[in-house]
């Protein structure tokens, strides 16, 4: 049996999409409810496996105001961008 979540929780737009630059210059995109805490986790070696060997990371970009579903869609869009367009996004 699964628990249903309250309607307010389902429509909460408290998710963010973020991009960090790793020590090696690569970019990592993810989603979270707390960007500051998530970046700290990456830098502590407890974030994504990708960033574990590429720390420290620095926050370069974030977008807020998403539902979880919207954040996942936006994350996928950013991940599909060529590297040059990701750099443009960060500069904007």
For the chain, 92 residues long, give each residue's pLDDT as a single digit of tens: 445 555 555 558 999 999 999 999 999 999 999 999 999 999 999 988 999 999 999 999 999 999 999 999 999 999 999 999 999 999 98
pLDDT at 16: 98
pLDDT at 6: 58
pLDDT at 9: 54
pTM score, whole prediction: 0.85
Q: Which domains does the chain have, with CATH numbers?
A: 13-86 (3.40.1440.10)
Largest CA distance in the chain: 47
């Amino acid at each position: 049996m699964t628990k249903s979540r309250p309607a307010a929780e389902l429509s909460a737009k408290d998710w963010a999409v973020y991009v960090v630059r790793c020590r090696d210059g690569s970019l990592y995109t993810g989603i979270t409810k707390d960007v500051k805490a998530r970046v700290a986790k990456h830098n502590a070696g407890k974030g994504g496996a990708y960033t574990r060997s590429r720390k420290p990371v620095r926050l370069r970009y974030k977008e807020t105001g998403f539902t979880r579903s919207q954040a996942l869609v936006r994350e996928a869009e950013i991940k599909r961008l060529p590297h040059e367009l990701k750099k443009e996004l960060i500069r904007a």
